[in-house]
Amino acid sequence: MEKYGGEGRPWHASGRWGQRQPSHHAAWNNPKRDASVRGQHFKLDDARIWVRLHFWAAREAGLAAHEPFWELHIELISHFVAVYDRAAVGYVERDAGWSASAANTERYLSQPGSSDGTHAMRDLIGIGRTGW
């Protein structure tokens, strides 16, 4: 809300102010990440997967219903995803559109990504990774 110019300072008031770096460090080293990338900063594939999941959740919450807000939100996510991989910015609108397709989300839900049954975005995994 702070980035949208809303009332108050919820990010500051939540106690999360100043926690970006520790939170990212915890995410990079999360034991649920594949061992081959654990500890590495997020790359293009990670960024695009996050964007798709984010917009899917936002659509389910009804945020896409107001077109001017939705366009502003896409711009804001473009700004934030650049922190992880500048190339991801060029895919934000496409990945926002991905989330509007029931066929895409069903395909994601039906593709196991590993032996523990997690889901995968096979069309993105590995893009933008050095040595892959």
Q: What is the DSSP letter of 40?
A: S
The region, left, alpha or beta by phi > 0 then psi within -120 to 50, assigned to residue 8 is left
The pLDDT-based confidence of 132 (bands split at 50, 70, 90) is: very low
Domains of the chain by residue range: 1-30, 38-132
Query: How far is residue 37's CA from residue 41's CA, in Å, rounded to a whole number?
Result: 8
Residue 131 pLDDT greater than 50, yes or no: no
Q: Tell me, what's the pLDDT at 114?
A: 57
- Compute the distance between CA of residue 106 and CA of residue 11 in angstroms, rounded to an integer: 33
Distance, CA of 102 to CA of 60 (rounded, Å)? 12
DSSP assignments along 107-131, one per residue: HHHH-B-STT--B--TTTTTTT-TT
pLDDT of residue 120: 82
Question: How far apart (Å, rounded) are the C-alpha atoms in residues 114 and 92?
Answer: 26
Which tokens hold the place of 63? 């945020």
pLDDT digits 0-9 by tens, 95-130: 999 999 999 999 898 887 655 667 888 889 888 875
Are 102 and 116 contacting, i.e. CB atoms less than 8 angstroms apart? no
The model's pLDDT over 1-56, given as tens digits with 9 standing for 90+, comes to: 677 777 788 777 887 778 888 988 999 999 988 898 899 999 999 999 999 999 99
64-77 pLDDT, tens digit per residue, is: 999 999 999 999 99
